[in-house]
Amino acid sequence: MVLALWGFGSIESARAQDAALAAPTGLKAVDHPNDVGTSVDLTWTLSVDDNARAQPRVVNGYEIYRSLVDGDEREMVGEVPYGVEKFTDQQCTAGVPYLFEIISVGTGEQRSEPARLAKPITPIRQWIDRSRAWFGVIVVLVCGAVILFTRLARFGKATYVREIAGLQAIDEAVGRATEMGRPCLFVPGLQDMNEIPTVAGINILARVARTVAEYDATLTVPTARSLVMTSARETVQASCLAAGRPEVYDENLVYYVSDEQFAYVAHLTGYMVRERPAACFYAGTFYAESLILAETGNSVGALQIAGTAEASQLPFFVAACDYTLIGEELFAASAYLSREPQQLGSLKGQDAGKLLAGALLIVGCALATWAALAGNGSPAESMLVFLKDTILGRGGAG
């Protein structure tokens, strides 16, 4: 009996030794695409002991080690929990070949034999991000259209531009201010010169300031940013010069108030109520204070022309101002007002961009509808995936 028990015990320990942790298999490494050569992507097949339903769990995770080809030392570069079959090492050096190995980790100190890479992998620096290649094509198409029509406009016939009521009313607004002997107010928005709507606002300021100089009216431009004040002064001075009235430029009328949104608007509303401008122009980025501005302008009887790219503020401008430039119209305004062929040509380029958008939408929706009707695995579905993930996404090499 004792002999049998002893035999039984030794069979048990033999079985325990035989039941070593299974290593993961199929370790593969590829250079991480579209990077500066500091990353390598590893994938493997889970260890056969890594069973999601096993209780208690046999495999708790994996450890990943890296070594140089001609070195003996290996260092641990990462660990992942069970069920995960990929890892990216982001601490490599470009051009240096590495060897990787991966080990299953069980409870206690149980570790499997390592699964090793057959050949070393060398992370390479890519100079171009190929995942953005199709996006680059779209950028070239859109910008190319703008540039092409801008150039063509110099030689071809005059470009038709539809009426934009708010811009046609500028002359009327300034004329009204001159007759009433009241000033005009121009608000270039809240943001700084690093935002394109502000640049668009300054471009509109150039046109408005020129009209004001020609009519011999007064234009006040309080700003919320010091850089905008600097640029606005240059702009208004140049406009007075272009109108042939350099002597009407008064730099004290273009001044800095405060960076804080509501302090700026507190000053503006105070100004409006005291000086009672006859024409108010708002062009740039506006936030919550847009309503206060527009309502106060209404209360003093000013003619208000507003334009912003902030979709959330457009309802208030639409409700409270006489004319509103919606979104893209703000960017079209300076071209429209200048009447220069090159500028008008750029508007045609913008329209070409919208045609591209419409075409992509129609083709895409047609493919999506066809794929929905044809079911999984149809050619329509693969074309749709290509369109959405590669052309319009980061697919392909990404």
Partner 1 sequence: MKSTIPWLIAAATGFVMIAAYFIPAAQGWQGEVGTWFEILAAFAFVLGGANLFAYHLGKISARRAGWGYSGVTLVAFLVTLAAGMLKLGVPAPDRYPTNAWAGDFQFEGSVSWWLYWYLYNPLNATMFALLAFYVSSAAFRAFRAKNTEATVLLVTAFIVLLGRTYAGAWLTSSVPENYSALTFPGMTAIILAVGNTAGQRAIMIGIALGVAATSLKVLLGVDRSYLGSDGD
Partner 2 sequence: MNRETLGWTVVLLIGALGLFGRAMSKPEGMGKVYIKAVRIAPDSPTDTRTTFTKVEPKDSEAIVSVPRTVGVWIAALGTLAIFSFLYRDNVFYKLAESVFVGVTAAWAMVLGFWESIVDKLLRNLAPGLMRAWALPGLSDKQEPNYLYIVPLILGIMLLWRLVPRGAWIARWPLAVVVGTFAGLKLVNFLDADFVSQIRNTIIPLIVVVNGKVDPWASLRNTGLLVGVLSSLTYFFFSVEHKGFVGNVSRVGVWFLMVTFGASFAFTVMGRIALLAARVEFLFNDWLWLIDPGDKRPKGW
Q: How far apart are CA 223 and CA 238, in angstroms?
A: 18
Both tokens of 24, joined, read: 């993961």
Q: How far is the CB of 269 from partner 1 (least distance, A)?
A: 9
Nearest residue (CB) to partner 2, 60 versus 230: 230
Both tokens of 14, joined, read: 């033999």
Q: Does 384 bind partner 2 (CB under 8 A)?
A: yes
Residues within window 172-211 making contact with partner 2, judged by CB under 8 A: 193-196, 199
Q: How far is the CB of 266 from partner 2 (least distance, A)?
A: 5
Q: How far apart are CA 215 and CA 245, in angstroms?
A: 10
How many C-beta neighbours within 10 Å does residue 5 have? 9
User: In 3D, which of 248, 240, 288, 296 has the Cα closest to residue 268?
Assistant: 296
Q: Which stretch binds partner 2 (CB under 8 A): 23-31, 71-79, 81-89, 306-314?
A: 306-314
Q: What is the DSSP string of 256-309?
A: E--SSHHHHHHHHHHHHHHH--SEEEEEE---TTHHHHHHHHHHTT-EEEEEES
Q: Does 225 bind partner 1 (CB under 8 A)?
A: yes
Look at residue 29 and give its three-state secondary structure. strand
CB 77 within 8 A of CB 66: yes
Q: Does 340 bind partner 2 (CB under 8 A)?
A: no
Q: Does 365 bind partner 1 (CB under 8 A)?
A: no
Q: Which of 311, 373, 375, 376 binds partner 1 (CB under 8 A)?
A: 311
Q: Does 170 bind partner 2 (CB under 8 A)?
A: no
Q: Does 159 bind partner 1 (CB under 8 A)?
A: no
Q: Does 32 bind partner 2 (CB under 8 A)?
A: no
How many C-beta neighbours within 10 Å does residue 313 have? 22
Residues within window 366-395 making contact with partner 1, judged by CB under 8 A: none
Q: Which of 59, 102, 200, 303 binds partner 1 (CB under 8 A)?
A: 200
Q: How far is CA 53 from the centre of its chain?
A: 43
Q: How far apart are CA 264 and CA 221, in angstroms?
A: 12
Q: How far is the CB of 128 from partner 1 (least distance, A)?
A: 6
Q: How far apart are CA 255 and CA 239, in angstroms?
A: 17
Q: Which of 342, 368, 385, 389 binds partner 1 (CB under 8 A)?
A: 342
Q: Which of 133, 148, 152, 368 binds partner 2 (CB under 8 A)?
A: 368
Residues within window 268-307 making contact with partner 1, judged by CB under 8 A: 274, 288-289, 291-292, 294-295, 298
Q: Which of 11, 14, 19, 357 binds partner 2 (CB under 8 A)?
A: 357
Q: What is the DSSP string of 78-118?
A: EEEETT--EEEE----TT--EEEEEEEEESTT-B-PPEE-S
Residues at the site binding partner 2, with contacts judged by CB under 8 A: 135, 138-139, 142-143, 159-162, 164, 193-196, 199, 227, 230-231, 234, 256-260, 262-263, 266-267, 269-270, 273-274, 311-312, 314-316, 318-319, 326-329, 332, 336, 347-348, 350-351, 353-354, 357-358, 360-362, 364-365, 367-369, 371-373, 384, 387-388, 392-393
